Amino acid sequence: MGKQFQEIGPALADWVRAQHLFFVSTAPLSGDGLVNCSPKGMDTFRILGPRKVGYLDLTGSGVETAAHLRENGRILFMFCAFDGAPRIVRLHGRGAYHAAGSPQFRQMRPLFPAYPGIRGIVVADLQRIGESCGFAIPRYRFVEERDTLLRWAEKKGPEGVEAYQREKNTASLDGLPALDAAES
């Protein structure tokens, strides 16, 4: 059932790119801290190399991934086949959060679409690439991407998004530093 890969080869890359949804999981070092799992969509994920991936982080109500990466760098990406053959792919890695405006962000920014409300880019070097059966994953039909987050960011405008980030995105639920006020 389970299988490991040394790298993301062409066939696996094609499959990953065809998925409309992925999940990002992180956790703080503290055993009392909250584990986070965030669903992600739209055209935000990129395969940057055989063992390197990244995604465009859009402004949202939580900022757990940024805080956890800043604290310890551990990250997991999970993709599930909701149509076609059953399959789950997990990408375990060590990641970094690059806030909008940072030199690393500016270097990678051209690889992603120009969405409103961009907060940063997450990049991870992969330590383990594995797949499992996914036999219990239900089948779903993709209808369309939701545009609610984009419309929200457009309505707020750049200054409104920055104010929201200063108010809501400077610390994780556990109080870990996330975005510096100067970054948001």
Q: Give me the tens of pLDDT residue by residue for the chain, a chain 184 residues long.
A: 689 999 999 999 999 999 999 999 999 999 999 999 999 999 999 999 999 999 999 999 999 999 999 999 999 999 999 999 999 999 999 999 999 999 999 999 999 999 999 999 999 999 999 999 999 999 999 999 999 999 999 999 999 999 999 999 999 999 999 998 656 5
Give domain status of residue 181, yes or no: no
Residue 183 has a pLDDT of: 64
Query: What is the 3-state composition of the chain as percent helix, strand, coil, each rounded to the nearest 5?
Result: 25, 35, 40
The DSSP-derived string for 39-82 is EE-SS-EEEEETTEEEEEEEP-S--HHHHHHHHT-EEEEEEE-S
Chain center to CA of 97: 10
Residue 2 has a pLDDT of: 87
Residue 72 has a pLDDT of: 98
Give domain status of residue 64, yes or no: yes
Residue 182 has a pLDDT of: 57
φ, ψ dihedrals at 158, nearest 5°: -55, -45
How many whole angstroms separate alpha carbon 5 and alpha carbon 66? 27
Give domain status of residue 175, yes or no: no
What is the domain extent for residue 54? 3-168
Give domain status of residue 149, yes or no: yes
Give domain status of residue 135, yes or no: yes
Residue 180 has a pLDDT of: 84
Return the CATH number at 92: 2.30.110.10
Give domain status of residue 177, yes or no: no
174-33-58-23 Cα dihedral, nearest 10 degrees: -160
The H or E element that residue 103 is part of is helix 103-108
Give domain status of residue 174, yes or no: no
The H or E element that residue 26 is part of is strand 22-26
Cβ atoms of 77 and 46 closer than 8 Å? no
Residue 181 has a pLDDT of: 63
Domain count of the fold of the chain: 1
Residue 184 has a pLDDT of: 55
Give domain status of residue 54, yes or no: yes
DSSP, res 31 = T
